[in-house]
Amino acid sequence: MAGKITVSVIKADVGSVCGHTRPHPSMMEKCGEFLADGVKKKTLVDYYVTRVGDDINLLMTHRNGEDAKEVHKLAWDAFMAAADLAKEMHLYGAGQDLLSDAFSGNIRGAGPGSAEMEFEERPTEPIMFFMADKTEPSAYSLPLSRIYLDPFTTTGLVIDARAKKGFDFEIHDVMDNKKVVMSSPEETLSILSLLGDTTRYAVKRVFSRSGIGTAAVVSTDKLNLTAGKYVGKDDPVCVVRAQSGLPSVGEYLQPFMDTMLVAGWMRGSHYGAFYPCAVDDSDPTYFDGPPRVCCLGFQLRDGRFQGLEPRDAKPGDHRPMDFFKGSEWDLVRRNSVKASKMVRGHGPFMPAILGPGEMEYTSRPAVLKELVRRFEKLD
Ligand code: F6R
Ligand code: MG
Ligand code: MG
C-alpha cells in the first residue's frame, strides 16, 4: 500500500510489582485491549505492547502523522486504565508518570515519553526498537555517534555509497529547550563536542542525506523538566530504520558490545553500565539495575509489524526478534556487572553519584539550610 506510515512509541511507568521492577501482566493486557480497539476503530494499523523493566512501551503504526491527537489520546487512555489496575492491586508507583488527571491534546509534557517518525515505507523495511530502563535520553548519544559517525563501527559509512553521503543530526539542548541540525561527516567533531556533554545535549533525530528520510528518533521528553522538578529519568526509547543505505541491523547492534556508563540507575542519581538483555530478562535486580537496554526488531508490511508470528496473525499478536537475548551478549552483561560493581565501590561519592544538577534525589539543600549558622568564613 502506498502512502506514508507513522511509527509511534509511547511509553510510561504506571506501576510495578515489588518496587520499580516490572508491570503486572494484567496491566500490559489492559493496554493491549485499548490498542486492539484502536485498530478496530482504524486509529491504528497495528501495535505491539512490550516493556523494559518497569516501563510499558506501546509500539504503534498508523497513518495519522506525528503528534496525532487520536493516537496520543489512545495511549493516554491505555496508561490511565493500566494505572487504575495498578492502584487497585496496590502496586508500587501506580500512575507515577501520568502527571495530570486529564488529557490535554498531546502526550508531550504530560509525563509519558514519545518517539515518532513518519516515512515512506520502502519495499522491505527493517525497523528496530531500542528500549532502556533506569537511564535518560543522552544514554543513546554515544552508541548513535558510533553508528552514524564512526567508520570503525559502521563500515557502511565507507563502503556503501548512500551511507557515505552522511547523516544530519537534530540535537536538542534539553535544559534550554533549543535544537540545532548539524551535518556529518563535515561537522562530526563539532557534533561530538556537543554530545559529549550528556547532561545537556541529546540526539533527537537522525536523517539520511541520500533521500531515505528519517533514520532514527529518540524520546527526549525530560520528565524532570516537564514536572518542574526531578520525578524520574525518562527511560528512553530509540527507533531506527535499517539496511539499504542506512546502517545495517548488525551495525546498529555493534556499539552495545562495549561497556558504557550511563546516568540513572538507583534513584536516578548514579552512573551504572548499560546491560543489554532480552525483554524477559529486563527486571532490575542489582541496586535497581544496572540500566537495562533491550532491542526488538520487525519488518514492516504495509504498515503492519511482521515478526516471527504466522503471516496471518491478528494485529498486536507478534513475535519480534529479541536481539540482546543470545549468549554472545553474555560477555558485555558480565562486563556491565563488573563495571557497575566497581563504580558502586564509591558508595555515595562522585563519580558513582551524578553531579549536583543531575541528581534525582538530594538532601543537600536541607543539610545546607541546617548548617547555615554553623558555616564560618575561612581566614
Ligand atoms: C530509578 C528507580 C528506583 C527508585 C528507588 C527509590 O529510576 O525507579 O531506583 O528511584 O527505588 O524509589 P522510592 O523513592 O519510590 O522509594
Ligand atoms: Mg520507574
Ligand atoms: Mg523505568
pLDDT (tens digit, 9 = 90+) per residue, 42-87?
999 999 999 999 999 999 999 999 999 999 999 999 999 999 999 9
User: In whole angstroms, what is the distance from residue 138 CA to residue 193 CA?
Assistant: 14
Per-residue DSSP letter, 92: B
376 in a structural domain: no
76 in a structural domain: yes
Look at the chain and report how many structural domains it folds into.
1
Ligand 1 centroid vs 19 CA: distance in angstroms? 7
Helix, strand, coil percentages in the chain from 3-state DSSP, rounded to 5: 30, 25, 45
Ligand 2 centroid vs 204 CA: distance in angstroms? 22
Q: Which residue has the least CA distance to atom 6 on ligand 1?
A: 267
Give residue 369's pLDDT: 95
379 in a structural domain: no
- Identify the sign of the CA torsion 364, 201, 332, 275: positive
322 Cβ contact partners less than 8 Å away, ≥ 6 residues apart: 278, 279, 294, 295, 296
Give residue 360's pLDDT: 87
Task: Please give the model's pTM, rounded to 2 decimal places.
Answer: 0.97
Q: Which residue has the least CA distance to atom 12 on ligand 1?
A: 267
Give residue 323's pLDDT: 98
Among the bound ligands, the one closest to the CA of 113: 3
At 109, the amino acid letter reads G
Does residue 361 have an active-site annotation?
Answer: no
Choose, from 233, 234, 252, 271, the residue flagged as catalytic: 233
178 in a structural domain: yes
Give residue 106's pLDDT: 86
User: In whole angstroms, what is the distance from residue 345 CA to residue 362 CA?
Assistant: 20
User: Which ligand 1 atom lies nearest to the CA of residue 289?
Assistant: 9
Give residue 1's pLDDT: 54
Ligand 3 centroid vs 353 CA: distance in angstroms? 18
Percentage of the chain lying above the pLDDT 90 cut: 88
Per-residue pLDDT of the chain (379 residues; tens, 9 = 90+): 568 999 999 999 999 999 999 999 999 999 999 999 999 999 999 999 999 999 999 999 999 999 999 999 999 999 999 999 999 999 999 999 998 888 888 888 888 999 999 999 999 999 999 999 999 999 999 999 999 999 999 999 999 999 999 999 999 998 888 999 999 999 999 999 999 999 999 999 999 999 999 999 999 876 555 555 545 568 999 999 999 999 999 999 999 999 999 999 999 999 999 999 999 999 999 999 999 999 999 999 999 999 999 999 999 999 999 999 999 999 999 999 999 999 999 999 999 999 988 888 999 999 999 999 999 999 8
User: In whole angstroms, what is the distance from residue 55 CA to residue 52 CA?
Assistant: 5
373 in a structural domain: no
Does residue 176 have an active-site annotation?
Answer: no
User: In whole angstroms, what is the distance from residue 224 CA to residue 211 CA?
Assistant: 36
375 in a structural domain: no
Do the beta carbons of residue 46 and residue 316 sit within 8 Å? Answer: yes
User: In whole angstroms, what is the distance from residue 30 CA to residue 81 CA?
Assistant: 7
Q: What angle is formed at CA 144 by the lines to CA 287 and CA 49, rounded to 5 degrees?
A: 60
Give residue 105's pLDDT: 84
Around ligand 1, the residues with Cβ closer than 6 Å are 19-20, 134, 232-233, 266-268, 288
Q: Determine the longest span between alpha carbons in the chain, in angstroms.
A: 80
Q: Which residue has the least CA distance to atom 13 on ligand 1?
A: 267
Choose, from 48, 140, 148, 230, the residue flagged as catalytic: 230
Question: By CB neighbour count within 10 A (0-12 exposed, 13-18 middle, 19+ buried), where does 182 fall?
Answer: middle
User: In whole angstroms, what is the distance from residue 105 CA to residue 269 CA?
Assistant: 32
Per DSSP, helices labelled H in the chain are 25-40, 69-88, 141-149, 156-159, 161-164, 188-195, 223-226, 249-253, 330-344, 364-370
Q: Which residue has the cell 563502503?
A: 159
Give residue 2's pLDDT: 60
User: Which ligand 1 atom lies nearest to the CA of residue 92?
Assistant: 15
Q: In 3D, which of 170, 180, 109, 165 has the Cα closest to residue 144?
A: 170
DSSP track, 105-165? S-STTSS-EEEEEEEEPPSSEEEEEEEEESB-GGGGHHHHHHHHH-TTT-THHHH-HHHHT
Range of the domain at 225: 4-368
Do the beta carbons of residue 287 and residue 344 sit within 8 Å? Answer: yes
Q: Which residue has the cell 551535518?
A: 183
Give residue 134's pLDDT: 97
Question: Taking the C-alpha atoms of 308, 328, 134 and 125 in order, what is their torsion angle to the nearest 10 degrees?
Answer: -40
Mutate to test the pocket of ligand 1, among 21, 52, 266, 363 (most ligand atoms within 8 A of CB): 266
71 in a structural domain: yes
Give residue 100's pLDDT: 84
Do the beta carbons of residue 235 and residue 220 sit within 8 Å? Answer: no
Choose, from 13, 46, 133, 221, the residue flagged as catalytic: 13
259 in a structural domain: yes
